């Protein structure tokens, strides 16, 4: 299975696949979702031996099934993106974004603290989506950007992005089946008594605040694991990884056990330690959805958290 220069992914039917339908090959071997298959069918984006087939046609060994995996102009564009293209606008990145990993389908970026992932207003600029779209345009590639998960505005670190609709649905499958491993470094207030632990407490909206979350019996299941890396008289450095991905999960869970994140004013953290929540998405790993090869991306600590850690624990650069 390989990607052609024209943006098509091709699969040669093996002896064991003979008797399957074109649709089965596309869904099971090329990992195309039902929604994407419908879109490809309408745009002649599925080929059998270089010709558009009936999806129920049975294949034989040696047949070549191909799907278009590069987005066509205008495909899945948001109203904001469509307006920008129509008016010929270029949106410059407000902050530099480091690229930690990239291939034809996926990209991992190191988001700076203070940068939102998505625009929340039609005319908003300077988001990660804008920065990556500009990066891809500069390379002469389609500029549709599909973040797979979210990071809070003030959380820095690694985030997985689909470069195409196909890449996005592959990565989303990783997220849903638990193959995407997300690891964080956090500084929390107070000294943790246990060297490691698991926080399992459902999270829902706080009815008294429009954006805040809280632990509540009526919330969604949320599980956070942690290990203590270092401690001082007043704080603890923890490595955290997620089993679920609820909004503000790490922030809410550590507040719940009485150790809010340093700098996190929304959840009761000390503001004299850092001017934002001390949370950094330090590591992202996953088996590549096409090759199966393990990809490990590590995001270096930003200066503010690095200084905090050196100050509190006398540790060298991490």
Active site residue 76: no
The active-site residue out of 152, 172, 206, 264 is: 152
- Report the pLDDT averaged over residues 284-302: 92
The structure tokens listed for 116 are 């939102």
Q: What is the tens place of the pLDDT at every residue in 27-65? A: 888 888 888 888 888 888 889 998 999 999 999 999 999
The structure tokens listed for 256 are 């719940």
Instruction: Return the closest-CA partner of residue 234 out of 264, 199, 260.
Output: 260
Instruction: Return the closest-CA partner of residue 250 out of 157, 116, 165.
Output: 157
Buried b (16+ CB within 10 A) or exposed e, 165-189: bbbbbbbbebeeeeebebbbbbbbb
Which spans in 218-266 are helix H?
A: 249-256
Q: What is the tens place of the pLDDT at every residue in 97-141? A: 899 999 888 999 999 999 999 887 666 678 999 999 999 888 888
Q: Regarding predicted confidence, which is higher, 10 or 107?
A: 107
Please report the pLDDT score of residue 199 as a whole number.
Answer: 98
Which spans in 88-164 are helix H?
A: 128-138
CA 314 to chain centre: 32
pLDDT exceeds cutoff 80 at 1: no
Contact 93, 130 (CB under 8 A): yes
The structure tokens listed for 17 are 């696949």
Helix axes 165-176, 34-42, angle to 10 degrees: 170
Q: Return the minimum-mean-pLDDT range out of 82-91, 128-137, 217-226, 280-289.
A: 82-91
Contact 122, 80 (CB under 8 A): yes
């Amino acid at each position: 299975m390989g990607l052609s220069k024209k943006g098509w992914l091709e699969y040669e039917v093996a002896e064991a696949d003979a008797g399957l339908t074109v649709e089965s090959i596309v869904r099971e071997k090329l990992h195309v979702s039902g929604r994407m298959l419908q879109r490809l069918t309408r745009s002649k984006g599925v080929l059998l031996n270089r010709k558009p087939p009936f999806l129920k046609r049975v294949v034989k060994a040696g047949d070549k099934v191909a799907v278009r995996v590069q987005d066509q102009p205008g495909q899945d564009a948001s109203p904001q993106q469509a307006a920008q293209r129509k008016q010929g606008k270029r949106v410059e990145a407000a902050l530099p974004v480091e690229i930690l990993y990239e291939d034809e389908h996926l990209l991992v970026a190191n988001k700076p603290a203070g940068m939102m992932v998505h625009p929340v207003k039609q005319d908003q600029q300077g988001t990660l989506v804008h920065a990556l779209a500009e990066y891809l345009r500069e390379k002469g590639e389609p500029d549709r950007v599909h973040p797979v998960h979210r990071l809070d505005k003030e959380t820095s670190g690694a985030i997985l992005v689909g470069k195409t609709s196909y890449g996005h649905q592959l990565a989303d499958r990783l997220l849903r089946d638990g193959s995407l491993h997300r690891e964080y470094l956090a500084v929390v207030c107070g000294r943790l008594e246990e060297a490691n632990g698991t926080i399992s407490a459902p999270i829902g909206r706080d009815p008294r605040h429009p954006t805040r979350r809280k632990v509540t019996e009526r919330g969604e299941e949320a599980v956070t694991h942690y290990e203590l890396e270092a401690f001082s008289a007043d704080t603890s450095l923890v490595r955290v990884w997620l089993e679920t991905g609820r909004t503000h999960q790490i922030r809410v869970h550590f507040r719940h056990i009485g150790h809010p994140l340093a700098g996190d004013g929304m959840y009761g953290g000390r503001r004299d330690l850092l001017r934002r929540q001390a949370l950094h998405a330090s590591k992202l790993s996953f088996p590549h959805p096409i090759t199966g090869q393990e990809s490990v991306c590590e995001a270096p600590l930003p200066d503010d958290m690095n200084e905090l850690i050196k100050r509190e624990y006398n540790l060298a650069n991490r």
